[in-house]
Amino acid sequence: MSSDADIYKHQNFGNPLGLGDKVALLIVDFVNGFDDADQFGGGNVTEACNNTVGLLKACRELNLTIAHTRVVLADDGSDDNIMAIKVPALKNLTENAPGSHIVERLKPLPGEIIVRKRLPSAFFGTDLAPNFTMRRIDTVLVTGCTTSGCVRASAVDAMCHGFRPIVISDCCGDRALGPHEANLFDLRQKYTDIMTRDEVIAELTARQAQAAE
């Protein structure tokens, strides 16, 4: 009996994208509320957030473009949407709510992009795509939470905008591990490459060293 992977391989899915010429790091929704199992977190979200600290450090040392996202809804409910009906607790993620603030260990530095979004994708209804295009970005390293939600939506939209999405598996987390693993499998087959933190750091570092020769 064929495995799931065999079926996709037989149909010629899962071909590699590889890193392009100019890479950006996208950190999706690693905010206090998702780092808290009593709010929106749990599963492997905090572990993935911790793993991203080292990746962020490496990307800063390599002078890559870095973008962070936050979910921010209006205090008065004026921009509540369908997702907020489905998950009413999202209405608590307003501009000044502690749960909407990026975790301290991944705190943005001056010059890093901060995207305020109201829906799952970092690209939908924001200026992130034209910002990346202006910087001639062609590859986006996608990290954050949740793998089955905002990470997936952002990775698929990155592909739709013509960027190569590379999902960093151990820097993405979900409140349930089943959806995390299932979505990594599906993304790998149809939309993105999947790499680990150490793999992508090693490749980016090697490229920089080669360029300096």
The answer to whether 55 and 168 are in contact (CB under 8 A) is yes
Alpha-carbon distances, residue 31 vs 58, 101, 130, 138, 161 (angstroms): 20, 5, 24, 26, 25
What does the block give as tokens for 177? Answer: 């591990």
Angstrom distance (rounded) from CA 9 to CA 51: 30
- Residue 59 catalytic? no
Burial class (CB in 10 A: 0-12, 13-18, 19+), 11: exposed
Structure tokens at 166: 């590379």
**119: nearest Cα among 92, 154, 94:** 154
Which member of 150, 160, 171, 172 is catalytic? 150
What are the catalytic residues?
150
